[in-house]
Amino acid sequence: MSYINKISSLSDFVKSYSDNDIAIAVAEFKKKRISELTSATHSLNEAILQEWRARYGDKPIPSVIPESEMVVQKGSNNSCKFIMHLL
């Protein structure tokens, strides 16, 4: 059983995100269908974008492939590589 140890605002929570966490969160948001988006996801995305702008101004957020879009494919030499899953 888990308990809430600390309550903080969304903007304070987002400040703890690393640059990589921000890039992944934005990629996941962009990947979602409109029917999957809620007011909570919009609020989180806005807070993330505001934190990025506070850190770097108008510098673009690095593009990443979200983990949900990756599929592990084993190569012939037992090495794994990631490919983008095409629907």
pLDDT of the residue at 56: 94
More confident call, 87 vs 6: 6
pLDDT of the residue at 64: 86
* pLDDT (average), residues 63-83: 61
More confident call, 40 vs 6: 40
Q: Is 40 exposed, middle or buried (0-12, 13-18, 19+ CB in 10 A)?
A: exposed
pTM exceeds 0.75: no
> Collapsing DSSP states into helix, strand and coil, what is residue 36?
helix
pLDDT of the residue at 42: 93
In this model, does residue 80 exceed pLDDT 60?
no
